[in-house]
A and B are shown apart, each in its own frame.
Chain A
Amino acid sequence: FFPQTVTENFANVIHGLNASHLTDLVIQRSKRMILDTLGVGLLGTSTEVFHKVIQYSKIYHSDASSTVWGHSDFRLPPLYAAFVNGVAVHSMDFDDTWHPATHPSGAVLPALLALSEVLPQKQKFSGLDLLLAFNVGIEVQGRLMCFSNEASYVPKRFHPPSVVGTIGSAAATAKLLALDQFKCKAALAVAASYAGAPMANAATQTKPLHIGNAARHGLEATCLTSLGLQGNKQILDMESGLGAFYTDYNPRFLPTLQSYSWLLDQQDVAIKRFPAHLGTHWVADAASSLRKYLVESDDSVPFSRIKRIVVKVPDVRYVNRPFPNSEHEARHSFQFAACTALLDGSISIQSFSDQNISRPELKELLSKTKLEHPADNKPSFDNLYCEVNVTLQDGKVFSERCDTFYGHWRKPLSTEDLKKKFHSNASSVLSVEATEGIIETVDNLEKVEDCFVLSAFLKGTQSTKVLSKMCLP
């Protein structure tokens, strides 16, 4: 049997993949992604953008309900739960990044968890079901990005999570609901009509909504499809279909199910160490390394002795901000990253507070900073590098270069550091028990009989009764 269209092929694969197809490496990597995503999401529930979307979504408070991460005081309809939790995940730009570039997990996990809570009583979803559906959502995103050369570079037109993330969410939720091939195809088609948000809203408060909406709309597409809605059966094949979002578009078939090879097996994600655009991670590592040449005995940097700072990075307009005015702009500024890392030695969640953004010493350094774009520095997360040169008033020059930051797929975070990041994030809104509970649940996800426990922990229930429901063998 040879599928006639790429769209049909995708539907068949989404439908036909099962747990036995998951390799150990894929399981391991995807569990790390799940843990990290939950952590950044929990932390994100403390942001202003999250509060605004909560206020908005509460208008639609109803009986059918799913967990809002970090909130035991109210629930939301699954669509809005997926929306707000997705917004939380991307609210600080702290979530995972893949190559080709997108933020894969935030578009998928919130939709799956929200959906898993509203299915009929009899239907239980095991951890393995969740893991499989999650990977279907990730895989579809990765495969779609291979349809276009433009996708290998840091984006200029459409924000990738809004394009492939929406389709990924539809695929993942269709998988969880075990829709047949025809409905899987329709879910992809309907989702395409929701996809696409322009890059201009990156570095603004609206950017997190791109992930929130990807999760929500993919889920909606699946729900409409399961009620019988149909779309174009060749949505992935046509230039006027998903091709509308790209200037070059070459859709390709997925590998055969006989021996399925997952993209996550060959290409891991990057996990961020601080909440800012991935490009700033190279800058931070280079600048922090360089700092050791400058510090005095009291560990301070005599910033007035600095004459000039040159940061060599690829030409990425939306991260080129000499004087960021808001936390969102600061998270998308090579200059800000360099100066903060030089001043403080590292970048953290606190670096983006209003106070820190407007520090006079930072502003002074920023005024001495300029960017350069060497021709060999390509705007691709697989190839870019950063070099920081600092010239002192007395003429001395110091230089450091970073090719691969710690957390990048070539130098992944250790398990300890991943858990440490999660701990730090989750404990801002959850109890120690819930935090530990999530770590343990995700660590053993394949063996969890009913993934409702995950949602229970995410809510912020402190009861130890929940721990005993974990149903581990």
Chain B
Amino acid sequence: MHAHAHTQIWETVTSSFASFIHGVRPEHLSEVVRHRSKRMILDSIGVGLVGSTTRVFNIALRYCQLYASNAVSSVYGRKGLKLSPTLAAFTNGIAAHSMDFDDTWHPATHPSGAVLPALLAASQMLPPSSKPDGLDFLLAFNVGIEVQGRLMRFSTEAHNIPKRFHPPSVVGTMGSAAATAKLLSLNETQCAHALAIAASLAGAPMANAATQAKPLHIGNATRLGLEAALLAARGMEASPLILDDIPGCSGFSAFYGEYQPKPLPLPANSHEFLLEKQDVAFKRFPAHLGMHWIVDAAMSARNLLINYSGSFSPSLIRAILLRIPVSKYINRPFPESEHQARHSFQFNACTALLDGEVGLNSFTDGCIHRRELMELLAKVLVEHPEDNLANFDKMYGEVALVLENGDVLTGRCDTFYGHWRKPLSRESLLKKFRSNASHVLPEDKVNSIIMTVENLENLPDSSQLASSLRFFPQKD
């Protein structure tokens, strides 16, 4: 038995993480953390369900079905289809990120999609006698989120919008390994090995963001983290110093330019989870987070124009000035695909100006190539004010409509609705969930998932959550 009362000094950062993963208990979860993480779980399921209707999901599913054996884990929205746990995690992770509709944290990553699918899949692989309950599940989820947050604090480069490696592919894989290790109750040594094995499976370059391959980053993060934990459970060993800084032989530091690892505090009597101090942002429409500022600013400018001239008339506009931070992969004047459109300040601003909103349908081929939209896009100029930092905690968006007659109408957004400074209300979050989930599930199923997640701590068998995500057609 460990004596929890005293603090210990850890020899290595890696072992401090292993101890945390192994030693943290449900009692360590505060009210705020429980509440926030359940919102994340609900939102993640919703975006995953709607994501199961996408083309990229379909490709991944057809691929995974080649290897369908040992099918015990559910796939979002697909009745009668089960896959092996890692492939179920893979497809569900892809679904979650398929439309860039999933949550975003600060420092920047998409935390939930990398963790939840692995846990859902794993919960279905354990024998009936050792199925984790809802509280275990919630704890494991939070371990996965917490580890990601802690890892991102090892480097100041992580505070800004990424340029080299896509963060979910780096910290997400580690978070998934940590969460799964927790759910499977691995011992401390195995927890450390799970992290180290996961590091060898981490890391995808930013260049694939804004392409169809981007969702695979989350799919693989959650899948490979699960795999790392499963390998560790079977005795696979790796570097015991993976998180520590070893000059001349990089571990996890390989993914960063500068790297200062810090040990996690031992849970002992109280552990403050990062989620307590720093909430996530939930998206209101399926596009890169940066778009949310510009859309709110554009809608504000649009309203000004409507008040000014009685209606929204594009012909009155000579130029559209966007004041945005510098970030190459979201600066696209004429996006050609839905993936590019979700990563284009210009596209999102103009869509918001034209339609008064941005939603799921804004990214269909038909909408992307509309003549009226192209005409507006041709009027866009981009500016990068020095004070507009490429950082989700500090950036702002400004849309200035320069009219033919010389007048300028400017809309600005410092904090969009859904950002952690202005979180979605419960109603708004449920509205988003219902809208998403109803694409593939009937109303009663949708309601039952909401109830299950809201009462997660009381669920006796958490694998029920996973099995509730399949579609039950009424005809059967």
Contacts and interface: CB of A to CB of B under 8 A. Distances in A.
A193 B84 contact: no
Given A56-B231, A62-B69, A244-B206, A231 B239 contact: no
Interface string A181-214: 0000000011011111111111011100110010
Interface stretch (B245-253, B438-446, B448-456): B245-253
Contacts of A194: 204, 220
Given A158-B250, A240-B164, A198 B63 contact: no
B164 A209 contact: no
A143 B199 CA distance: 26
Contacts of B231: 52-53, 56, 209
Contact of B207 (A61, A162, A199, A238): A238
22 contacts: A59-B85, A62-B70, A80-B67, A193-B220, A198-B254, A198-B255, A200-B249, A200-B254, A201-B199, A201-B200, A213-B200, A213-B201, A223-B66, A228-B59, A231-B211, A231-B212, A232-B211, A232-B213, A240-B163, A240-B329, A244-B203, A317-B249
A201 B242 contact: yes
B390 interface: no
B268 interface: no
A251 to B, nearest CB: 12
Contacts of A239: 164
B200 A223 contact: no
B432 to A, nearest CB: 28
Interface residues of A, number: 60
A206 B203 contact: no
Interface in A83-127: none
A432 interface: no
Given A62-B70, A77-B67, A240-B205, 16 more contacts: A53-B231, A56-B230, A59-B85, A60-B86, A62-B66, A62-B69, A189-B207, A198-B252, A201-B200, A204-B196, A206-B196, A232-B211, A235-B208, A240-B329, A243-B205, A245-B203
A193 B208 contact: yes
A196 B203 contact: yes
A59 B125 CA distance: 11
A461 interface: no
B234 A52 contact: yes
A121 to B, nearest CB: 16
Contact of B66 (A53, A64, A243): A64
A79 interface: yes
Contact of A59 (B84, B206, B248): B84
A91 to B, nearest CB: 12
A136 B231 CA distance: 32
Contacts of B212: 229-231
A220 B202 CA distance: 16
Given A53-B231, A157-B254, A204-B237, A198 B199 contact: yes
Interface string B164-203: 1100010000000000000000000000000011011111
Contact of A235 (B207, B238, B249): B207
B238 to A, nearest CB: 4
A198 B253 contact: yes
A224 interface: yes
B196 A200 contact: yes
Contacts of B206: 240-241, 244
Contacts of A192: 204-205, 207-208
Contacts of B250: 156-158, 198-200
Nearest to B236: A52
B370 interface: no
Contacts of B251: 198-201
A202 B254 contact: no
Contacts of A14: none
A173 interface: no
Interface in B52-82: 55-56, 59-60, 62-63, 66-70
Interface string A212-238: 010000001001100111111011001
Contacts of A196: 202-204, 254-255
B238 A199 contact: no
Interface of B: 55-56, 59-60, 62-63, 66-70, 84-87, 163-165, 169, 196-197, 199-208, 210-213, 216-217, 220, 227, 230-231, 234-239, 241-242, 246-255, 328-329
A159 B239 CA distance: 14
Contacts of A158: 250, 254
Nearest to A236: B207
A323 interface: no
Contacts of A232: 207-208, 210-211, 213
The 9 closest A-B pairs by CB, nearest first: A62-B69, A200-B251, A241-B207, A231-B213, A317-B248, A197-B200, A193-B204, A206-B238, A244-B205
A232 B56 CA distance: 14
A49 interface: yes
Nearest to A59: B70
B200 A206 contact: yes
A342 B253 CA distance: 37
Contact of B234 (A55, A156, A241): A55
B69 A52 contact: no
Nearest to B239: A200
A242 interface: yes
Contact of B242 (A62, A198, A224, A242): A198
A171 B254 CA distance: 25
Contacts of B238: 201, 204-206
Contacts of B237: 204-206
A63 interface: yes
Contact of A206 (B68, B220, B239, B249): B239
Contacts of A227: 59, 62-63
B70 A60 contact: yes
Nearest to A64: B66
Contacts of B165: 244
B207 A240 contact: yes
Contacts of A199: 249-251, 254
Interface in A30-87: 49, 52-53, 55-56, 59-64, 77, 79-80
